[in-house]
Structure 1
Amino acid sequence: MDIPDDYSYSENYTYSEDYNDTPHELPVFTHKSTCLNEVFCVCLLVVFAIIFLLGFCGNALVIWISGFKMKKTVNTTWYLSLAISDFVFCAFLPFSMTNMAMEEWIFGRFMCKSVSFIMFLNMFSSIFLLVVISMDRCVSVMFPVWAQNHRTVTKASIIVVFCWILAIALSCPSVVFREVGTVLGRTICFNNYTHDRYSHKAVAVSRFLAGFIVPFVIIIICYSIIILRLRTSRMTKSTKPFKVMTALVAAFFICWLPYHVFVLLELNHQHYDQSILITGLKVGTSLAAANSFLNPVLYVFMGNDFKQKFKSTVLSKMENAMGDERPTTSRYLSRSSSMGGRASTHI
């Protein structure tokens, strides 16, 4: 995902066949940022700052626990890869926040292309991994015996690598079309679609289909099958699986739909009010970015084994820091850690 205003034709300048000229320098203009004087822009900066702090720290914690403190399993492979994707995304947020505050790109052409590429790499890799997690849970519920015998860390790792390769391929348009230019006295990082008449529409539609519609349909089908299956099993007495699944699907839908809707509307920007499109794109990118810190909560912290490992690890660290070695507590933590290795993360 490109943060912020990847498609905004007035602030981040998407140029297509509708424009006669590409950005050029007009020395008569002197650019002065007005973002910090606007309430909406300041609020967006605060939101992105919160997303950065929560997402960076939350995903770093997930990487630390799932990568170094837990036994390597299929589930931890999914969680670790998802956390790495979101962590990298959050690490690059300060570049976009600086661009938003200054209303100018100061990091050069290479970083213009790199930041955009990383943002979309995160979008596709995260969504593909969420689809894989959904399909994995569906298979485990429908064919538990087969899953127990064939779900291996090696196969999971191969699937993760395939997801990343596909995400890289779909993120390449950012490297091709992203450019740096000067408009009205300021340097901008923009999408230059002037060389191909249909490139803008092709990129937007392909991202919508591959990054939202197809994954969302697959996730809905998987969780519908799981719910129908659970209704006929012993888990019917518990409402937690249904609540968790509803939260997962709702978070995916709410975070990504506004972003893609306004991206598609921007294709025919001449038919819509410019201020509405700009505001919608900013809000849409904010919601989509929020998914990067919601993922650790929804997909990891709800897993029983991860929660137990997190509690036991943090408690033991606190105990060591305080220098209070209590045998009873130590035995309890040891027992909790042992149980965490055996508990299932499936809902």
Structure 2
Amino acid sequence: MEFPVLFVVLCVVAFLSGVPLNCYVLFIAGCRVERTASAVWFWSWAVADFIFIVFLPLRFTSIFILDLDWAMVLSSTITSFHMFFSAFLFMALSVDCCILVARSEWAWNHCTPRLAFRMVIGMWALSVGFSLRYGVLWESLNSPASTSMNFQLNERRVKAAIAIQFLVGFLIPLAMILIPTSYIVLAAKLRWNRLIQSTKTLKILLGLTPTFFLCWLPYHVFSFLQISATYPQTLLSKGSTFACVLTYFSSCLNPIFYLTIDEEFQRHRQRARNPQTTDNLGPELAE
């Protein structure tokens, strides 16, 4: 009984903390979405997190009521969509921050909210395309197969889908995020840009990166373990359930970073617009 009780407690904590936090971010970022590109990123990410966390009760229901196949398919599809969209958006946010450091004036003139909105629409479309069939394939693997051939076909398709989601939704985005983050670290250490008056943005990015990917790493690990069929099913079921709950906590932590990063982005863009104001600011890189 310890496992269900702990699972219920974690779900309740994630739901009650994630919904109001993301609602607040939706309101704050929504008021600025027409003014800055960063507000578009944060608002879009908050929308995805809000949708994801709202469907947490459906995931809870699908785990304890095994007859609801439609609930398992829908919750798995939403989880996959959130994973892909968050990874794509995090890449865009990291690149945007890197451009602010490398070419601040160019970023102010060209990284407009309209361009950011178009990119968000493209990321939504890509995420839907990658995740649309994932829930159905996962359900077909866990359901009784009518024939051995159909089961083997579905199993191969699920393995391919899990491999794709690991590469496209985790490994490749991690590499693409670390490149601009490394540039920002180097720029901060060498003081290439006088607009970097504080390491606050860098510290937030360095905190957001491991937080996001550590929340999703167990999910991918247990996805591979489940299709390997070399471990006890009971242990895998408990581990995959906790890994799934952990992904919801990423949606609870993200709003805190949204608000902090957005405030710093506003200051950084204002300095890019008025470079003369940086003369009156002392360097704070020695924190």
Of 259, 263, 269, the match for 1:304? 263
Of 9, 25, 42, the match for 1:62? 25
Q: Offset at 1:137?
A: 0.6
Given that residues 59 and 86 in structure 1 are in contact (C-alpha distance below 8 angstroms), is that contact kept between their aligned partners in structure 2? yes
Q: Quote the residue 2:44 is aligned against.
A: 81
- Partner deviation per Cα, 1:253-273 (whole Å, 9 max, x = no partner): 31111111121122212x223
Note if 1:146 corresponds to 2:106.
yes
Note if 1:158 corresponds to 2:127.
no
Q: Quote the residue 1:203 is aligned against.
A: 161
Q: Offset at 1:280?
A: 2.1
In 1: Cα distance, 2:41 partner to 2:61 partner: 32
Code of the aligned partner of 1:168: V
- Partner deviation per Cα, 1:225-277 (whole Å, 9 max, x = no partner): 111011122577845344322211210231111111121122212x2233332
Task: Give the TM-score normalised by structure 1.
Answer: 0.68
Q: Offset at 1:302?
A: 4.0
In 2: Cα distance, 1:277 partner to 1:182 partner: 13
Mark the CA change 1:182 to 1:245 in structure 2 (over 3 Å): closer, same or farther.
closer
Would you identify which runs of 4 or more consecutive aligned residues in structure 1 move more than 6 Å? 180-184
Q: Offset at 1:159?
A: 0.5
Q: Offset at 1:278?
A: 2.2
In 1: Cα distance, 2:93 partner to 2:60 partner: 31
Q: Which runs of 5+ in 2 are unaligned?
A: 145-149, 273-287
Of 118, 130, 150, the match for 1:170? 130
Aligned residue pairs total: 264
Given that residues 251 and 291 in structure 1 are in contact (C-alpha distance below 8 angstroms), is that contact kept between their aligned partners in structure 2? yes
Mark the CA change 1:198 to 1:231 in structure 2 (over 3 Å): closer, same or farther.
same
Of 197, 222, 247, the match for 1:288? 247
Instruction: Say what the alpha-carbon RMSD is for the aligned residues.
Output: 3.0
In 2: Cα distance, 1:236 partner to 1:152 partner: 21
Trace 1:79-228 onto structure 2 (pairs within 5 A).
79-100=42-63, 102-106=64-68, 109=70, 111-174=71-134, 176-177=136-137, 179=139, 194-228=152-186
Given that residues 248 and 298 in structure 1 are in contact (C-alpha distance below 8 angstroms), is that contact kept between their aligned partners in structure 2? yes
Q: Quote the residue 2:237 is aligned against.
A: 278
In 2: Cα distance, 1:183 partner to 1:200 partner: 12
In 1: Cα distance, 2:243 partner to 2:33 partner: 35
Q: Quote the residue 2:6 is aligned against.
A: 43
3-state SS in 2 of match to 1:198: helix
Structure showing greater radius of gyration is 1
Task: Give the TM-score normalised by structure 2.
Answer: 0.81
Given that residues 305 and 343 in structure 1 are in contact (C-alpha distance below 8 angstroms), is that contact kept between their aligned partners in structure 2? no
In 1: Cα distance, 2:49 partner to 2:36 partner: 20
Of 268, 276, 289, the match for 2:228? 268
Trace 1:231-250 onto structure 2 (pairs within 5 A).
231-233=189-191, 234=194, 238-250=198-210
- Partner deviation per Cα, 1:33-63 (whole Å, 9 max, x = no partner): xxxxx11121111111111111111111111
Given that residues 62 and 72 in structure 2 are in contact (C-alpha distance below 8 angstroms), is that contact kept between their aligned partners in structure 1? no
Q: Offset at 1:119?
A: 2.1
3-state SS in 1 of match to 2:106: helix
Q: Which has the higher helix share?
A: 2
Mark the CA change 1:231 to 1:193 in structure 2 (over 3 Å): closer, same or farther.
farther
Given that residues 177 and 193 in structure 1 are in contact (C-alpha distance below 8 angstroms), is that contact kept between their aligned partners in structure 2? no
- Partner deviation per Cα, 1:137-178 (whole Å, 9 max, x = no partner): 111111212212211111111100010000000011235426
Mark the CA change 1:98 to 1:62 in structure 2 (over 3 Å): closer, same or farther.
same
Q: Quote the residue 1:18 is aligned against.
A: none
- Partner deviation per Cα, 1:287-316 (whole Å, 9 max, x = no partner): 22211111111233343279x9xxxxxxxx
In 2: Cα distance, 1:280 partner to 1:165 partner: 31
The percent identity for this pair of structures is: 33
Q: Which has the higher strand share?
A: 1
Mark the CA change 1:284 to 1:178 in structure 2 (over 3 Å): closer, same or farther.
closer
Q: Offset at 1:116?
A: 2.5
Q: Quote the residue 1:332 is aligned against.
A: none
3-state SS in 2 of match to 1:294: helix
- Partner deviation per Cα, 1:100-155 (whole Å, 9 max, x = no partner): 3x34344x63x443333222211111121111101111111112122122111111
